[in-house]
Chains A and B, each alone.
Chain A
Amino acid sequence: MSENTELMKYVATTCPYCGVGCTLNLVVNNGRLVGVEPNQRSPINEGKLCPKGVTCWEHVHSPDRLTAPLIKKNGKFEEATWDEALDLVAKNFKTIYDKNGPKGLGFQTSCRTVNEDCYIFQKFARVAFKTNNVDNCARICHGPSVAGLSLSFGSGAATNGFEDALNADLILVWGSNAVEAHPLAGRRIAQAKKKGIPIIAVDPRYTMTARLADTYVRFNPSTHIALANSMMYWIIKEGLEDKKFIQERVNGFDELKKTVENYADAESIHGVPLDVVKDMAFRYAKAKNAVIIYCLGITELTTGTDNVRSMGNLALLTGNVGREGVGVNPLRGQNNVQGACDMGAYPNVYSGYQKCEVAENRAKMEKAWGITDLPDWYGATLVEQIKQCGEEIKGMYILGLNPVVTYPDSNLVKKQLERLDFLVIQDIFFTESCEYADVILPGACFAEKDGTFTSGERRINRVRKAVNPPGQAHEDIWIITELAKKMGLKGFDLPTAKDVWDDMRAVTPSMFGATYEKLERPESVCWPCPTEDHPGTPILHREKFATADGKGNLFGIEYRPPAEVADAEYPFTLMTGRLIFHYHSRTQTGRAVDLHREVPESYAQINVEDANRLGIKNGEYIKLKSRRGETTTLARVTDEVGPGVVYMTMHFADGVNNLTNTALDPMSKMPELKHCAIAIEKAGGN
């Protein structure tokens, strides 16, 4: 860092919020952040930012940042030195490990923090405790994308970049409100509209993104498979499938064809009139280049992986993979949800998706890390770890997550965290979850560290340090490597982010060529980038798929209803989502003046007819109840949602996740965050 009398110093870095990965300039005066200014040179966002991006600096110097390690003594947190705190963590983790073995500990990292933190965190878990109980919060947003796209295409990542939508002849946006959740990817859709590219938006809600579309298709919540199968039935019926592509590059056509035969007319399930289904199917199939953009509307369900595979089915059936203007693109939620998975903070893979079950992979990592006995088993996933608290799992290390607010069934989460013998939370603020911790370690926020975020288009974007962490807070790499050293581990002498990145590159073939030097360019690099002279890979699956036989896989998938559907007792379907003004549990956005002003408390959208019937007025408080809990919120009466459907955002404590269901997608262990049954009453009670 240069001397701190400098004025108006610009530090180009990557926005800490969503997975678009916009570049922005932090402005530093005398060693303190004073604002954000546009970075017009960025090919990603050209200087443009959303309401969160422009305010992302505001929380950094908050007076309530964690500034010293805290140890809970007699139920109260007391400040401690780093030595005291880290010695205690090392001692207690070791005790639990000695008594309970590798499955006695759980490790969870945020997708908001840099790749380097995620990599060193999982390395620590695996080297110190020989455990695969390490996961990140991609599990509860795009876990099904990783699982589903891996099965369909052999790689769990988006096939094409955001800007590439402008090369399409048709854009199918499905279960994504990009304008609010990924605004600068939403901008590409707005640009496409100006260019005259037809847009079909498929969503139960008439969102800001649906408003951009020239065709808006409302369907019943969580009936994706039935709708996609119906489209495919008609595509095949009319002979519009890409026969050459299927013959040369795809397995499983017969199985798919047989399955979709039952879906000629599935309106009774998905609620879309047959002529609309046909029109949508034919337009998608006939477009020379058509891209599917989807998001959590597809994934956060117990059918998540199958929903994703249905998107893969549509693209493979029509030959829409492997070139400009096509593909299947999940809009990754968090800034580093792609990267956290890429780094191997995942219970069954090392960095670059090298499977732990493969003996050669284990041998390679053991050699690189100088250890033995890495486990081959599939570790416990995020929500599984919560469910195992007090049973198999006795100790947990949580880096930058706020499970009490963001995981499903908040009441269960609180109960389970209380059952732990020892909980360490590393964060920048005292979150709702910190109450349950035994030790709290103050980390550094995005503006206080170097590193990288990997965006939803697999672009590895640089994060650059602008200011120092407050008080005794430290960069997270320092915390984890110090802890490792206290435990006497080797291979943690990695003081800088670049050192950690190079440690990762050395064991990760798909990212070996992505050197920090190359990442300095505003264009940066999209992985795979296997060698140092490789330019990176903006578009996947050009010649062949990343599967074992190089072919894409079609799957015959039957529609299954959600785990809990509306009934007489809980007659409404609750959907959840995000809004543009906040990010997740608002730890950061709640501290931005304007974002808090826009939306200071939670609300639920309820259809006009339902509201009239129940005598609910716009702006009054209502109580929502599910089998798991209840919450009080403001009613927004609207026709943006259909009758029988309620929509609520996930940003507020004791909010929507008091209601949500922990039922899991069997393939990806995704909880059913986007669908459960609720009852509504006026807050006054009855």
Chain B
Amino acid sequence: MAAKGDMVYAWAKDAEIQKKGECGGAVTALLKHALESKMVDAVIAIKKGKDLYDAVPVVITNPEELIQTAGSLHCGTLLIPKLIKKYLNGAKDKKYAVTCKGCDAMAFYELAKRNHINLDNIIMIGVNCGGSVSPVAARKMIKEKFEVDPDKVTKEEIDKGQFIIEFEGGHKGIKIDDLEEEGYGRRSNCRRCKMKVPRQADIAAGNWGVIGDKAGKATFLEICSEKGANLVNDAQSKGVLETSPADPKGIEIRGKVERAMLKLGDEWRHRDFDGLGKGKDRLKMMMEESSKCVKCYSCIEACPICYCVECSTKKPWFVAPGVLPTSFMFHLIRFAHVSDSCINCGQCEELCPMEIPNALFMHSQQVEIEKMFGHVPGRDMTPPIHALVEEKAERARLDATGTDSIFTNIFADE
């Protein structure tokens, strides 16, 4: 019987899942079992769209359709939890099993803290993530650096510090460090990321540390919660998943890989944050860059921290409506509301039509705040530094005071 804290090698019993899935298909087998055993109402995972650069989220209720989500796509840059909040009622009325990268797992916790996702209804199958590459950037990199037609590529993966492609007639790997020196490679937030093994999920799965005859044929599972242990045990007892104890040497190697990735994350943080300059120079740079903002609201819509029904940026006394260039107040409001809890998921930057490095700006502030207050977002249910209130109730309370005086509203009762 597996228990929280256990580390095992696992693989699917079903031959098709084993073949189509990554590393023996343990993740697909677990998802399918969760659905078949009615542990969940649906599975939320990523399937291949037009080609292997096109990652499309999908809600699956028919276990037979799960096979289309087998295999990994490194060009998927999606953030699933915000989609669950927006389109699936925050999992308040249904149970879901979800595959998640580090940023997804962190976003789940931040949304749960703010009462926008019911984590009790979510089984998180975490997957190790060394970073993702935006689809168009990946195609450009494959064409220009690998000198391969991106349409001919049949598989891509990130392994042992290399970006590796398989294509009709061969395979090729180039060191990620070299690619990134030349401006290719992973998204900038992924480079700075230090959530490589999502242990706040129910299970953290991956291929790091699978050695010996199991290499490539089994998935490394670290069981991180009782929910995760139940799923593995149940899947095993029903005969859909097979496991063996993880090789101690494999565990050691997995730790090494993770530490190397974390070190790389630190290096990129130094590099990126130093590039922002200091003090007034940093402020000036942020003001200049953000003056290009055209108020598409993508940064706010996609942000796992933003949830207000009445967004302060839409109050005309803070930010004049319909006026471009957008007042810096718009961005100051975002900084003030988000920066203590920013998980560096990168969505605000990836979706910005004016190429403002939003994630870099916000992340740079989050690490400073973390140094000051010791709050680490996205790891567990610890509330953020800012007080949390029920928005509607708090607005009603403030309205009832009949004044906008901060003293009356905040301190008078004390």
Contact = CB atoms under 8 A, between A and B. Distances in A.
A211 B325 contact: yes
B294 A49 contact: no
Contacts of A42: 136
Contacts of A6: 59
B355 interface: yes
Given A8-B57, A183-B353, A521-B50, A580 B292 contact: no
B87 A7 contact: yes
A54 B325 contact: no
Contacts of A48: 298, 350-353
Contacts of B350: 40, 47-48
A54 B301 contact: yes
B68 interface: no
A8 B88 contact: yes
A212 B324 CA distance: 13
B41 to A, nearest CB: 10
Contacts of B294: 50-51, 179-180, 183, 208, 580
A6 B350 CA distance: 28
B107 to A, nearest CB: 15
A597 interface: yes
Nearest to A47: B351
A581 B322 contact: yes
B77 A40 contact: yes
Contact of A40 (B58, B135, B298, B314): B135
A7 B321 contact: no
B86 interface: yes
Nearest to B316: A597
A641 to B, nearest CB: 14
B381 interface: no
B87 A597 contact: no
Nearest to A522: B50
A191 interface: yes
Contacts of B302: 38
Contact of B296 (A27, A49, A194, A579): A49
Contacts of B75: 40-41
Interface in A505-552: 520-522
A41 B87 contact: no
Interface in B309-326: 314, 321-322, 324-325
A461 to B, nearest CB: 13
Contact of B88 (A7, A40, A212): A7
B291 to A, nearest CB: 7
B88 A187 contact: no
A179 B352 CA distance: 13
Contact of B87 (A34, A186, A521): A34
A8 B53 CA distance: 20
A599 interface: yes
B50 A35 contact: no
Given A41-B53, A48-B298, A51-B296, A187 B324 contact: no
Nearest to A51: B296
Contacts of A503: none
Interface string B50-62: 1101111111000
Contacts of B86: 34-35
B134 to A, nearest CB: 6
Interface in A4-27: 6-8, 10, 12, 27
B312 to A, nearest CB: 14
A598 B134 contact: no
A190 interface: yes
Interface centre among A6, A7, A186, A521 (most CB of B within 10 A): A7
B42 interface: yes
Given A7-B87, A520-B50, A597-B321, A54 B355 contact: no
A468 interface: no
Contacts, number: 124
Nearest to B347: A38
A74 B246 CA distance: 84
Interface in A551-579: 579
Contacts of B77: 40, 47
B355 A191 contact: yes
Contacts of A35: 86-87
A183 B302 CA distance: 19
Contacts of A41: 49-51, 53-55, 75, 135-136
Interface in A340-386: none
B83 interface: yes
B59 to A, nearest CB: 5
B354 interface: yes
A12 B77 CA distance: 16
Interface string B35-72: 00000001010000111011111110000000000000
A234 to B, nearest CB: 33
A599 B295 CA distance: 12
Given A48-B352, A211-B291, A54 B296 contact: yes
Interface centre among A29, A37, A190 (most CB of B within 10 A): A37
Interface residues of A, number: 46
Contacts of B296: 49-51, 53-54, 183
Interface string B319-336: 001101100000000000
A294 B294 CA distance: 20
Interface centre among A35, A42, A47, A50 (most CB of B within 10 A): A47
Contacts of B321: 597-599
B68 to A, nearest CB: 14
Contacts of A98: none
Interface string B339-374: 000000000001111110000000000000000000
Interface in A578-601: 579-581, 594, 597-599
Contacts of B42: 7
A38 B301 CA distance: 11
A182 to B, nearest CB: 11
Contacts of B56: 10
Interface string B263-307: 000000000000000000000000000011011111001100000
A594 B353 contact: no
Given A34-B87, A190-B355, A194-B355, A208 B324 contact: yes
Contacts of A291: none
B314 A49 contact: no
A666 interface: no
Nearest to A10: B56
A384 B353 CA distance: 39
Interface in A153-192: 179-180, 183-184, 186-187, 190-191
A78 interface: no
Contacts of B352: 48
Contacts of A208: 292, 294, 324-325
Given A7-B42, A48-B351, A190-B292, A29 B325 contact: no
A581 B77 CA distance: 28
Interface centre among B44, B54, B294 (most CB of A within 10 A): B294
A646 B22 CA distance: 63
A190 B355 CA distance: 7
A580 B87 contact: no
A196 interface: no
Contacts of A194: 355
Contacts of B57: 8, 10
B136 A29 contact: no
A83 interface: no
Nearest to A187: B353
A548 to B, nearest CB: 37
A46 interface: yes
Given A51-B294, A598-B322, 5 more contacts: A40-B350, A187-B354, A208-B294, A211-B325, A579-B322
Shortest beta-carbon contacts, A-B, top 9: A599-B322, A41-B54, A48-B353, A598-B322, A41-B135, A7-B59, A51-B296, A8-B87, A8-B59
21 contacts: A6-B59, A8-B59, A12-B50, A40-B55, A41-B49, A41-B55, A41-B135, A47-B351, A49-B296, A51-B296, A53-B296, A54-B297, A54-B301, A179-B292, A186-B353, A191-B355, A520-B50, A580-B294, A581-B322, A594-B297, A598-B322
